[in-house]
Structure 1
Amino acid sequence: MEGKRIESSEVYVAAMCVSILLFAPVGVSQPIPADKSQVNAWFNGIIKPVKERGNTLDPELVEAETEPRIIKVMQGGGGEFDTITKAIESVPSGNTKRVIISIGPGSYKEKIRIERNKPFITFLGDPKNMPNLTFDGTAKQYGTVDSATLITECSYFVGANLNIVNTAPKPDGKMVGAQAVALRVSGDRSAFYNCKIIGFQDTLCDDKGNHFFKDCHIRGTVDFIFGSGKSLYLNTKIFVEGDPGLTVITAQARESSSEDTGYSFVHGSISGTAKNAFLGRAWKSSPRVVYAYTEMGNVVNPAGWSHNLQPERAKTVYYGEYKCTGQGANPKTREPFVKQLPDAEAQPFLVLDYVEATKWLLPSPTVPN
């Protein structure tokens, strides 16, 4: 009888394992396709609307999406407000419902901040006539991270079809405090679709939390994607502006291998007018950055990466490349501390759940009628 019980138990365990595999949420382990032409179909098959996702999403997000409120911002009349700031002020503290701020065309010169107590806000522009969110704040005036044109501290923020620009002058190497951030993302579970994020030094402060960027364009000169976020950049175009000084794309700020932060760039491209731009430099001691399936133009420095004149950091950085192409992707000229990732090591960086996206990411919003 004892032997019989063990056998039944084994059958039961096997059956449970099969059930778990069959009914587990889709997408957890489905890697991003190597073929770029298949990416959108793959993405749409996993990131479906709320009503098709069942209990796989965060309960508070499901509740928030049940009765979305739409606020129209238009210059010259026709909307509820004529500035984005006024629209944000109309959202109550402790907000629990999705608020879609539909932004009409034009240039909005505002320094915009969404505080932590106003989650579930969406900024939505028209892809055919994207609004320009502009300001000219600098580190000298506000401090670097507070110089941003748009600061999002709230969770569950979505930005779609926006030009986010810091119009401060290009640093000349002489001006003190000339760093000028266009966007700072400090809230968790935030997504950006089809946004242009434009500046020079320190363009995007990918500060903290899980973030997702798709079909975006990011432009700058030095350290123009920096911070301690954990982010997946899918089909993002990176443009490195020419500069007589140093040009560097990322300054990811992980300080220990125990910190679960880092940037993964998949199916993007790197171009520009710069020469010898670094993919990343060790601004902090243990940055983690991976480029996969990325088309790298001749703007990339043959060495690829920099330990930032601190040789000891060559032992603590995690800089990886996986199946990248183009003139700037030659692995033979890379620094010895750069990893050319094998398939198994690359996998964690090639899934949406690198940023836990199957729990919170929704499709790109569409313009309301």
Structure 2
Amino acid sequence: MAAGWSGAKSLAKTYGQTAFDAIVAKTPRPEAPTYPTIAEALGAAPANGTKAFRILITRGRWHEKLLVDKPNVHLVGEDRTGSVLTFDAAAGMKRPDGEPWGTWGCASVIVRAPDFSATNLTIENAFDYVGNLAAPKFEPIGPNGAQAVALMLDAGNDRAAFERVDFIGHQDTLFADAGRSLFQDCRIDGSVDFIFGGGNALFERCQLHSRYRPGKERQGYVAVPCTPSAQPFGLTFVTCRLTRDAAIPDGSVALGRAWRPGRTFPDGKYGDPDAVGAAVYVSCWMDAHIDARGWDEMGYTARDGRRVMLRSDDARLFEHDSSGPGAHRSGSRRLLPRERVSAFARERVLDAWRPG
């Protein structure tokens, strides 16, 4: 029996099944249908499945741009760092039709269906961000066109769960823009705005790792929410660790900034006034790369066409019980009122969803 299949059977036992519903592998495996690509395995999932359709991703770099638009798809990696879902599209690069991908289209993995989960694998956008800083390869769109998303949780997603998953990118690594999601014991690597969006995402015991940007005084921003005003929770980090590449200087990374994305309205296109970002750090450890000021402003286009700044005080950006050399006390780093701390318990953040 092949050593790889022995490992697969062990994983199946661990996850409570005698076998997976599909296996992605270079060569056929016994006891479950085997597919040469992840896209083909996703195609085999029921269109309206009511129970988990489990796909084993064997070791390898699977270079595919993936869309999950069926419910209850569960991806399980054979090896956390060896089972890699990767693509390399940036926002400014052109799609097959000649138009740019844009931030909303460039992700390596896009989820548009409920009850998705991923465990024990890596999701990566392998775009050469640092190389592009030195020699841009395309016309910029938005700030620079170098936004390169690894995972996007898009409209239609809800109750997405991630455990022991590594997310690798630089600018805009993880785009949690819709629905509820839970990230446990994950690692997210990036530099500029690398965890962002308007969804309700809870991160527990995750490592938020800042990557070095050569020649940049402001090395990056961690959490960048555009939460709708009526939504009580946005990006919530509980007992996480904020770490850095060794080359990143002290005080050069912001906890984040609130984002007011441009949207089209009957009277024009301008920054969405309903985007009142919410991000909270609860009992997180922070290395010295975190700026003592905490949060930065972020520019947006106002209704009258002026370019204005959205201040951190005009959004919902807080922390509680921070520790480590980056945990400073300053007037610009607002503490979560003590009476509100209990509101950030998991069952309240996730609005009664109990992940299995």
When normalised by structure 2's length, the TM-score is 0.76
**Partner residue of 1:184?**
152
Q: What displacement does 1:129 show? A: 6.0
Return the letter of the residue paired with 1:316. Answer: D
For the residues of structure 1 that align with 2:85 and 2:312, how far apart are their CA atoms?
39
Deviations 1:317-369 (A, max 9, x none): 111111110110111x351xx3212332111113333113x53401xxxxxxx
Which of 77, 84, 87 matches 1:132? 84
Q: Tell whether the 8 Å contact from 1:182 to 1:198 is kept in structure 2 after alignment.
A: yes
For residue 211 of structure 1, what is the aligned residue in structure 2? 181
- Aligned position for 1:359: 353
Q: Distance in 1 between matches of 2:39 and 2:338?
A: 46
Query: d(CA) in 1 for partners of 2:79 and 2:331?
Result: 39
Residue 185 of structure 1 deviates from its aligned partner by 1.4
Match of 2:256 among 280, 305, 309: 280
Q: Check if 1:231 corresponds to 2:201.
A: yes
Deviations along 1:293-325, one digit per CA (max 9) or x if unpaired, are: 111001101101012265663442111111110
Q: How does 1:100-139 map to 2 (within 5 A)?
A: 100-115=54-69, 118-127=70-79, 130-139=82-91
State how far apart, in whole Å, the 2-side matches of 1:205 and 1:233 are: 13
Change in 2 beyond 3 A, CA 1:124/1:287: same
Is 1:86 the counterpart of 2:86? The answer is no
Deviates further, 301-310 or 98-107 = 301-310
Unaligned 5+ residue runs, structure 1?
1-64, 363-369
Q: Paired residue for 2:291?
A: 301
TM-score by length of 1: 0.74
Partner of 2:225: 252
Q: Structure 1 pair 314/150, CA: closer, same or farther in 2 (3 Å)?
A: closer
Name the residue aligned to 1:75.
26
Matches of 2:117 and 2:228, distance apart in 1: 28
CA positional deviation for 1:124:
0.3
CA contact (8 A) 1:266 1:291 kept: yes
Separation (CA, whole Å) in 2 of partners of 1:128 and 1:305: 32
Whether 1:172 and 2:129 are equivalent positions in the alignment is no
| Runs of 4 or more consecutive aligned structure 1 residues displaced over 3 Å after TM superposition | 65-69, 127-130, 309-315
Amino acid across the alignment from 2:150: A
Higher helix share: 1
Deviation at 1:173, TM superposition (A): 7.6
Letter in 1 for 2:284: T
Structure with greater strand percent = 2
The structure whose Rg is larger is 1
- Return the offset for 1:193: 0.3
8 Å CA contact retained: 2:347, 2:353: no
Residue type at the aligned position of 2:73: I
CA positional deviation for 1:207: 1.1
SS class of match (1:222): coil
SS in 1 for 2:105: helix
- Whether the 8 Å CA contact 2:188–2:207 is kept in 1: the answer is yes
The answer to whether the Cα contact below 8 Å between 2:71 and 2:114 also exists between their aligned partners in 1 is yes
**Equivalent position amino acid for 1:83 in 2:** T
Q: Distance in 2 between matches of 1:229 and 1:128?
A: 25
Out of 324, 327, 330, the position equivalent to 1:326 is 324
Please tell me whether the aligned partners of residues 304 and 334 of structure 1 are also in contact (alpha carbons under 8 angstroms): no
Name structure 2 gaps, 5 residues minimum. 1-15, 95-100, 261-274, 300-307
Residue 161 of structure 1 aligns to a residue whose secondary structure is strand
Instruction: Name the residue aligned to 1:199.
Output: 169
Once the two structures are TM-superposed, the CA of residue 178 in structure 1 deviates from its matched residue by: 1.6
Q: Distance in 2 between matches of 1:232 and 1:147?
A: 23
Number of paired residues?
292
Q: Is the 8 A contact 2:80 2:165 kept in 1?
A: no
Distance in 1 separating the partners of 2:151 and 2:225 = 15
Aligned 8 A contact 2:170 2:191 in 1: yes
